[in-house]
Amino acid sequence: MSESKRTIELTIDGRKTSVPEGSTLLQACQGLAIDVPTFCWAENLTPVNVCRICVVELEGARTLVPACSRKAEAGMVVQTESERVKLSRKLVLELLGSSVDMSLASEFQALATKYDAHPERFGPRAPRAAPGEREAARAGHHYAEDGEHAANVAQPKKVDNELFVRDYAKCMLCYKCVEACGTDAQNTFAIAVAGRGFDARIATELEAPLPDSACVFCGNCVGVCPTGALMFKAESDVREKGEWDESRQTVTDTICPYCGVGCQLTLRVQANQILRVTSPADHSVTSGHLCIKGRFGWGFVQGKKP
């Protein structure tokens, strides 16, 4: 039962537009078909505005503002591709690209090219952290870098269950997994950001392995992860064997075979093997979120004996 809302008028890139009160600048841009890049934003999550790639220039504002969460106000004048915006996005891309493995983040390469970002200028990557090293970091304890290498979050994969793996070398701390595990969807609160500064990381309580944590394995964190840090075990295994081949894959929408809620599933299949199950963020039943059975419970059609 939506009540009629007031309309807000503003100017974006020299074009006048009007949006319903409460809309974000990102929504206003989308209405004008202006492309604003995002990493940490998703239509089914509350904006946390941490990645800063969506910043735009707002006339009269001291700092650039995140389009994903800044509400449109009457009379705003916004530039989405000013020199200041471009420089800021370039810096964000370079910092992310030098410290995080963004190889599976969709659009990252295209954006790096567009904004002339050169993450490699910070030098070769520092060696990968030993198992447990990053988890052992304590707030306030810092060690000077050698100045030769780019600091980064490279670390071993965490494989502690048969459903999904956690490759935090690819984690850009966008908070999407925390949001999906928390109030935005699952309300299980198995994970949060632990540590401070460069040591900040996604962690379970007391760094427990997932099976010993509060995790209920809905995989909603996997569903929203933009960088491949969280990945179906089935997909990860195929990628590790070097057999991942999107040209041989099909993507098919269907309905979950379990309870009567009717969640839409999107099955990604290669060589008759299901490798990934997601749900569209705009589906009226799921809002993109599933439970353990819907997301992972398809082994029974893949020759896995009950």
Partner 1 sequence: MLWGSNARETHPIFFHHVLKAVRKGARLYVVDPRRTASAEWAEGWLPVNVGADVALANGIAHAILAEGLEHKGFIANATEDVDAYKALVARYDLARVARLTGVAPEMIQRVARDYAKAERAMICWTLGITEHHNAVDNVLSLINLCLLTGHVGKWGSGCNPLRGQNNVQGGGDSGALPHKLPGFQDVEDDAIRARYDALWGRTIPPKKGWHLTEMFEAMEHGHLRALFVLGENPAQSEADATRTRRLLGGLEFLLVQDIFLTRTAEMADVVLPGSASFCEAEGTVTNSERRVQRVRKSIEPPGNAKDDIEILCALSKRLGYDLALPNAKAAWDELRELSPMHHGMSYERLEALGGIQWPCPDESHPGSPFLHGRLWETPVRGMKARFHPAEDVPPVEALDDEFPLRLTTGRRLDSYNTGVQSGGYASPRRMQETVDLSPADMRSLGLADGERVRVVSRRGAVVAPARVDPGLKPGLVFMTLHFPDQVDVNLLTIDATDPRSGTAEFKAAAVRVEKV
Binding segment for partner 1 (CB under 8 A), chosen from 73-81, 189-197, 222-230, 252-260, is 252-260
Q: How far is the CB of 173 from partner 1 (least distance, A)?
A: 25
Does residue 224 contact residue 180 with C-beta atoms inside 8 Å? yes
Compute the distance between CA of residue 200 and CA of residue 289 in angstroms, rounded to an integer. 26
One of 12, 181, 256, 275 touching partner 1 (CB under 8 A): 256
d(CA 52, CA 87): 12
Between strands 230-232 and 164-166, the pairing is antiparallel
Asked if 134 and 199 count as a contact pair (C-beta separation under 8 A), the reply is yes
Length of the chain: 306
Distance in Å, CB of 290 to partner 1, minimum? 7
The smaller minimum CB distance to partner 1, of residues 77 and 214, is found at 214
Q: How many residues bind partner 1 (CB under 8 A)?
A: 56
Name the phi and psi angles at 24, rounded to 5: -90, 165
Q: Which is nearer to partner 1, 175 or 296 (CB)?
A: 296
Residues 183-202: x where in contact with partner 1 by CB under 8 A, - otherwise, as a string: x-xxx---------------
Q: Which of 10, 34, 72, 210 binds partner 1 (CB under 8 A)?
A: 210
As given in the structure block, the two tokens for residue 94 are 């370079």
Residue 290: exposure state from Cβ atoms within 10 A (0-12, 13-18, ≥19): buried
> Beta-carbon neighbour count of residue 116 at 10 Å?
12
Among 21, 43, 73, 162, which residue interacts with partner 1 (rule: CB under 8 A)? 162
Site for partner 1 in 3-32 (CB under 8 A): none
Q: Which of residues 167-186 bind partner 1 (CB under 8 A)?
A: 183, 185-186
Is residue 258 near partner 1 by the rule CB under 8 A?
yes
CB 266 within 8 A of CB 278: yes
**Taking the complex as a whole, how short is the minimal distance between the CB of residue 209 and partner 1, in angstroms?**
9
Report helix, strand or coil for 181: helix
Residues near partner 1 (CB under 8 A) are 1, 161-163, 183, 185-187, 210-211, 215-218, 250, 252-265, 267, 269, 272-274, 283-287, 289-294, 296-306
